[in-house]
Amino acid sequence: MEELLPGEIIFNIDVMLAKRKMSVTELADKVGITIANMSVLKNGKAKALKISTLIKICDALECQPGDILEYRENME
């Protein structure tokens, strides 16, 4: 039986990309990761995120971690 997690982290990268009028490709280039890996993050499919990558994303988007990460409680 699969263990139920207490909640999940939602990535709001697309919101910040829209606010900054930046493409996923441009962000991936600035952060130094592949477009595929950036898409995994953007779509919330990532299982882990390096702090160094988070720092680079925040630097590129000129934002705080809380602007792109959101905790959502599991309602099940």
Q: Is the pLDDT assigned to residue 31 strictly greater than 90?
A: yes
Give the torsion through C-alpha atoms of 57, 25, 23, 58, to 10 deg.
Answer: 0
pLDDT of 2 > 70? The answer is no
Tokens describing residue 18 = 């829209």
| pLDDT band at residue 76 using 50, 70 and 90 as cut-offs | low
Q: At CB < 8 A and 24+ separation, what contacts does 44-48 make? A: 44/8, 44/9, 44/10, 44/11, 46/11
Q: State residue 33's pLDDT score.
A: 96
pLDDT value of residue 44: 85
Give the pLDDT confidence of 32-74 residue by residue, as tens digits. 999 999 999 988 888 899 999 999 999 999 999 999 999 998 8
Rounded to 5°, the CA angle 14-36-57 comes to: 45
